[in-house]
Structure 1
Amino acid sequence: MNLRDRYDAATAAFEAPFAAVDMTALRANAAAMVERAAGKPIRVASKSVRCRAVLEEVLAMDGFAGVMGFTLPEALWLFREGVSDDILVAYPTADRTAIAELAADPAAAAAITLMVDSPAHLDLIEAAAGGARVRVCIDIDASYRPLGGRVRIGALRSPLRTPEEVAGLAELIVKRPGLHLAGLMAYESQIAGVGDAPPGRAARGKVISAMQRRSRIELVRRRGLIVQAVRRVADLEFVNGGGTGSIEKTVAEKAVTEVAAGSGLYQPHLFDHYSNFRGRPAALFALPVVRRPGPGVATVLGGGYLASGPADAVRLPQPYLPTGLSYDSNEGAGEVQTPLLGHAADLLAIGDRVWFRHTKAGELCERFAALHLIEGDRVTATVPTYRGEGRTFL
């Protein structure tokens, strides 16, 4: 039985549209990530999963420890639901109500760490916490700045870049009785989130690889000096770095104690083009064929589930099974219908399914209330996504 037939058979009792996760593929991806981490723990990026049941399954596996959340309300919810007692909120918060809620719960305050990169964050947290002690982590700019800093390659995140800047904020934190400096974080998006093997573009791949090599050399030295400088100010519980695309490179740094990753579990198509690893597509969604406008065309219901990021063709979901389908250039992925072109369309009848892969990982779960978990040729469980539990944090 081929993959498409297996998925169709497993989900025959369900009406499309729906989303599913191939748990065999997910476990294989998780095992490969742990092997790449070479003994250092992987903190699971919840924004790339957005399903409590899947988060719990992954955290029960050897090699995974703790959650990297994306908002403080999410972190509070995950803690109170018993998902994890070690949650790092990866982005700064200005949610005063949630900070006050955190401060009023000593158990939550001991389990959740907030992200900061400026004195303004410290002031806001202390004012909202009302004197309670809050754990914080300093975010570091990990972008690559060649040509004397005139060019930036990587995410525009923290303003803190040098050992002196980071240690300066650390000194401010340790002087404040309402704050505890728990760790440092630096996300090298230009390495972890950019594939170095784009299909059919060998020259571009070489340029990306060269950039990533130079960026790694610069970051290894700078991150090491930053950690040394901050450790002279405070004891650190963790130094977090990396992402799915850079696991084995990031953990090779002595200064890094843990790596964050999540997208590699679902393996969305944005992560297909890396030379250092190959994942198995695990998270999928199925749309029903509802029209046959003409030869070589099959129209499915819905489909306009575009990913965040720069507005380009990569943000479109990828028609996956059957193979050989593509978008109409004038319509793309539509709000309520999506025409698909290709010889494979002539093999599709009204009511058949087309399986898609999202560009990114967890964003798929913002479109569906549940995930059907596939084991072999059957669905063994149907579990709610964040959306299905009424939780829409962003």
Structure 2
Amino acid sequence: MPILVARTPVTDRHRYDRATAHLDGPVAVVDLAAFDANAADLVRRAGGKPIRVASKSLRCRALLDRALAVDGFAGVMSFTLDESLWLARTGVRDVLLAYPSTDRAGYAELTGDQELAERVTVVLDDPAQLDLIDKARSGDAEVRVCLELDTALHLFGGRVRVGARRSPLRTPEELGAFAELVQRRAGFRVVGLMAYEGHVAGVGDRVPGRPVRSQVVRLMQSRARTELAERRAAVVRRLSQVTELEFVNGGGTGSVESTVAERAVTEVAAGSGLYQPQLFDNYRAFRGRPAALFGQPVVRRPGVGVVTVLGGGYPASGPTGPDRAPVPYLPPGLQYDPMEGAGEVQTPLIGPAADDLLIGDRVWFRHAKAGELCERFAELHLIEGDRIVRTVPTYRGEGKAFL
């Protein structure tokens, strides 16, 4: 009978080191047990409503397929038209392009292929986007359209805005008028509504060492959830006068529970929670397991309490700051030299753990965000226990650089 060993950061580090001992670094891995546990927890949190996988957070077809095979996940939320068409051609039957595109060649392909047009839905929020698509048309395939609702919270009479600057469509009247315009236009059909509340889904409400900030975030998010729930429901009622919606998409990893609680919402989007990057540690509602990591080899020992690893300067998108840098994770007790940070070619790390590391040993990092890690690596090594069970290409490894 096998002896079960409790999972701790120390045992995880030993597992990852043993699994990749035959590989030269840098290497990127995904712990399948953690990935699957995160998937199961997202399904639990979604309470029976389907989860659409955000492809930008995975950027690996094998892991998109693994998520979609879990009961409770359905469909993909993509980030470029080229990617959407590629996924649809390779077997994904329901792709929602969540960001407007000006890819004229892509729209020519979409409108000239009925099967692709049935699989791909595109987000639009401006009449000029309709004009661009019509100019690019190569056939009469009907374009499936999803409208996007601006979810930002406006405070103090609109003088303060909290939330991403995305769609210009905010009110039920604006959404309704645009839906009517789309419906009157030959070759287009409104089938869905998307509303991504990034100021709730993507902002942690439990920031370590920042109790006042955390409380302010919680107050803001409480107000934002109430305001958006009322406005989203009103928008859905208005759109129901124009067309029958197939889906109403909302939320993200950080807001699953509150988003699915709205009756108007039929599905939620999530992706980052499968990899559980560092920025998603700061939530009270859930605690995921780090699943995606990258290991950098120690190449120098400059002095007592210091080691240098190869590479590592993989910053995440968003406002520039320390929270966008990868986090030295295993072994515990390492941090950046504040004068150097994460370097383009090499990265010095300081701390008591450095003195136990030898040339060739590995330091494991967590990326600040999720799928952006895959733009740095051509393949992911999938780990079960202390062995690699499969090595799969990332988008980059398949020769795809969509953005």
TM-score class, shorter-chain normalisation, is over 0.9
Deviation (angstroms), 1:79 = 1.0
Q: Which residue of 1 aligns with 2:95?
A: 87
d(CA) in 1 for partners of 2:52 and 2:235? 21
Structure 1 window deviating more from structure 2 (207-216 vs 8-17): it is 8-17
Identify which of 143, 156, 159 aligns with 1:147.
Answer: 156
Cα distance per residue 1:52-89 (max 9 Å; x no partner):
0000011011000000000010011111111x110000
Contact 2:113–2:141 under 8 Å retained in 1: no
Q: Secondary structure at the match of 1:152?
A: strand
Q: Contact conserved, 1:21 with 1:371, CA < 8 A, in 2?
A: yes
Aligned pairs for 1:263-274 (under 5 A) are 263-274=272-283
Q: CA offsets per residue over residues 111-155 of structure 1, 9 Å max, x none?
A: 000110111111111221244311111011001111111111111
Which residue is 2:55 aligned to?
A: 46
Aligned to 1:123: 131
Q: Percent identity?
A: 64
Asked whether 1:285 is paired with 2:294, we answer yes
- For residue 370 of structure 1, the aligned residue among 352, 358, 379 is 379
- Deviation of 1:103 after TM superposition, in Å, equals 1.0
Q: Which residue of 1 aligns with 2:21?
A: 12
Corresponding residue SS for 2:157: helix
Structure 2: state its 5+ residue gaps: 6-10
For the residues of structure 1 that align with 2:321 and 2:24, how far apart are their CA atoms?
31
Matched, 1:172 2:181: yes
Matches of 2:341 and 2:64 in 1, distance apart?
Answer: 32
Distance (whole Å) between structure 1 residues aligned to residue 119 and residue 235 of structure 2: 25
Contact 2:51/2:267, CA 8 A, preserved across alignment: yes
Counterpart of 2:68 in structure 1 is 59
1:342 aligned to which of 351, 359, 379: 351
Q: Give the C-alpha shift of residue 105 in structure 1.
A: 1.2
* Matched residue type, 2:267: E
SS in 1 for 2:254: helix
Structure 2 residue aligned with 1:192 = 201
Maintained 8 Å contact 1:42/1:258: yes
Query: Helix, strand or coil for the counterpart of 1:332?
Result: coil
Corresponding residue number in structure 1 for 2:232: 223
For 1:347 and 1:214, locate their aligned partners in 2 and report how far apart those are by CA, in whole Å: 49
In structure 1, what is the equivalent of residue 361 of structure 2?
352
CA contact (8 A) 1:43 1:260 kept: yes
Amino acid corresponding to residue 59 of structure 1 in structure 2: L
C-alpha distance in 2, partners of 1:129/1:69?
Answer: 21
Tell me the distance in 2 between the aligned counterparts of 1:184 and 1:224: 11
* Alignment size in residue pairs: 393
Tell me the amino acid that sits aligned with residue 120 of structure 1: A
Q: 2:311 aligned with 1:306, yes or no?
A: no
| 2:109 partner amino acid | E
Q: Confirm or deny that 1:326 pairs with 2:335.
A: yes
How far did 1:107 drift? 0.4
Q: Distance in 1 between matches of 2:76 and 2:349?
A: 38
Specify the alignment match of 1:393 in structure 2. Answer: 402
Aligned to 2:119: 111
Residue pair 1:96, 1:128 contacting (<8 A) in 2 also? yes
SS across alignment from 1:149: coil
CA distances 1:357-376 after superposition (whole Å, capped 9, x unpaired): 00000000000000000001
What amino acid does structure 1 have at the position aligned with 2:352? H
User: Which letter maps to 1:23?
Assistant: L
Q: Given the alignment, which residue of 263, 281, 296 partners 1:254?
A: 263
Give 1:239's match in structure 2, choosing from 235, 239, 248.
248
Q: What CA deviation, in whole Å up to 9, does each residue of 1:316-345 have, x standing for no partner?
A: 000000001000111100000000000000
Residue aligned with 1:35, SS: helix
Q: Quick one: which amino acid aligns to residue 304 of structure 2?
A: P
**CA–CA separation in structure 2 for the residues paired with 1:218 and 1:38:** 22
Alignment partner of 1:98 out of 100, 106, 122:
106
Residues in 2 aligned to 1:129 and 1:197: alpha-carbon distance in whole angstroms: 48
2:8 match:
none
Residue 72 of structure 1 pairs with residue 71 of structure 2: no
Gaps of 5+ in 1: none
Matching residue of 1:134:
143
Q: Quick check: 1:126–1:179 contact (8 Å CA) kept in 2?
A: no
Letter in 2 for 1:93: S
